[in-house]
Amino acid sequence: MSVLQEDTIGKATGGLNPMSGLNRRFGKLLAAGAIAAVAAVCSQPASAANVLLDAWNFNLSAVNPLFSDSTNIDHINFVGTSTVNQTVVGGSALNQPFNESGQLQWNTVSHEGGGPTTNIGTTGNNVVYVQFVGLTGTLNSDGTITFDPNVGTVTLWLDSTGDFNPLTGGTALATFDIIAPSGGSNLDFFGGTAANATIDVTLQLTSTIVPNLFTDQFGNNLDALAFVVHLVNSDSLLDPNFTPNPNNSGVNGSGNGTSVIHVQNNGQWNIATPIPEPSTIGLLGVGLIFLGFFMRHRQNQSLR
């Protein structure tokens, strides 16, 4: 029934409740406000504070019954490499953009409560790895880096050939978006030996090949996009297998161009639950107040 119809009915009953149409419109506005506030909370980006999940599971058997699941996970250990193309202006890379691509192989699982690590449950030449392509960001004036949110692609692959090439036997298990906060510290890559850099990347899951690829210790699905994030913590060093590294042959005599940097990475992959920002919690409170007022308003109207 439309609001116009409700007003007409009120008039046709001899004006028993001449404000009914207005009240109903006001109630609908309150409901819309409550729903919008709660929806806004659910759409807020992850904050810098995250609580790591205990004992989560990576269920490879759901993809192929020949594979075994990794359970009771504290974190997954990875190794990998990446290539950074760093813009240089006037002989300096500070405050200049970069782009980065590479791969991280998931090789072992560290379990909740300690004990020996175990291998990811593949067989034969199958490997599980993350490929990231076209990530961009800025090397800041203090030597830290900041990644640009929602730029580039991040894909979790199952590779049946072990050559880390998705075109030859690759199956995409999941995709992610890079979100804030994502960055790094202690970088001194351009023009000399790097410090032991620390990279922290926050990822939002966007798709999985099967439901329940990631579950918590109780078997609950962790594919719900708005409520968990994947955290990548990596130690990064200049790769000694490349000489020179950085390769500054692309920088001209005026100090302008592109420095190519080859990096070795090793670290941990976690799943976490974001802690809402105080402003987000306040927004949720406003939404609940509106919703409570609306429900009371509806109850009062039903008694008239």
Per-residue confidence (pLDDT) for residue 193, from 0 to 100:
52
Pick the residue with more confidence: 59 or 9? Answer: 59
- Spatial distance between the Cα atoms of 186 and 171, rounded to a whole number of angstroms: 35
Which residue, chain included where needed, has tokens 């046709």?
12
* pLDDT over threshold 80, residue 219: yes
The two most distant CA atoms of the chain are separated, in Å, by 91
Decide if 171 contacts 203 (C-beta within 8 A): no
Pick the residue with more confidence: 196 or 282? Answer: 196
* pLDDT over threshold 80, residue 289: no
When pLDDT is cut at 50, 70 and 90, the band that residue 296 belongs to is: low
- Spatial distance between the Cα atoms of 86 and 89, rounded to a whole number of angstroms: 10
When pLDDT is cut at 50, 70 and 90, the band that residue 71 belongs to is: very high
Mean per-residue pLDDT of the chain: 81
When pLDDT is cut at 50, 70 and 90, the band that residue 223 belongs to is: confident
Decide if 271 contacts 4 (C-beta within 8 A): no
Per-residue confidence (pLDDT) for residue 227, from 0 to 100:
80
Packed helices 20-42 and 3-12: angle between N→C axes, nearest 10 degrees: 160
Asked which of 31-40, 57-66, 270-279, 287-296 is least confident by mean pLDDT, the reply is 31-40
Per-residue confidence (pLDDT) for residue 32, from 0 to 100:
47
- 186-190 long-range CB contacts below 8 Å, 24 or more apart? 186/143, 187/139, 187/143, 187/144, 187/145, 188/143, 189/84, 189/86, 189/93, 189/238, 189/246, 189/259, 189/261, 189/263, 190/86, 190/88, 190/93, 190/139, 190/246, 190/248, 190/259, 190/261
* pLDDT over threshold 90, residue 12: no
- Spatial distance between the Cα atoms of 181 and 185, rounded to a whole number of angstroms: 13
What's the whole-number mean pLDDT along residues 188-193? 53
What is the value of pTM for the model shown? 0.76
- Spatial distance between the Cα atoms of 39 and 127, rounded to a whole number of angstroms: 39
Per-residue confidence (pLDDT) for residue 5, from 0 to 100:
36
- DSSP state, 60? G
| DSSP tally for the chain: helices H, then strands E | 3, 13
pLDDT digits (tens, 9 = 90+) for 133-177: 999 999 999 889 999 999 999 999 999 999 999 999 899 999 999
Per-residue confidence (pLDDT) for residue 116, from 0 to 100:
95
- Spatial distance between the Cα atoms of 144 and 196, rounded to a whole number of angstroms: 12
Range picked from 190-204, 222-236, 260-274 for highest mean pLDDT: 260-274
Which residue, chain included where needed, has tokens 């899951």?
205
Burial status of residue 242 (CB atoms within 10 A of its CB: 0-12, 13-18, 19 or more):
middle
Pick the residue with more confidence: 281 or 76? Answer: 76
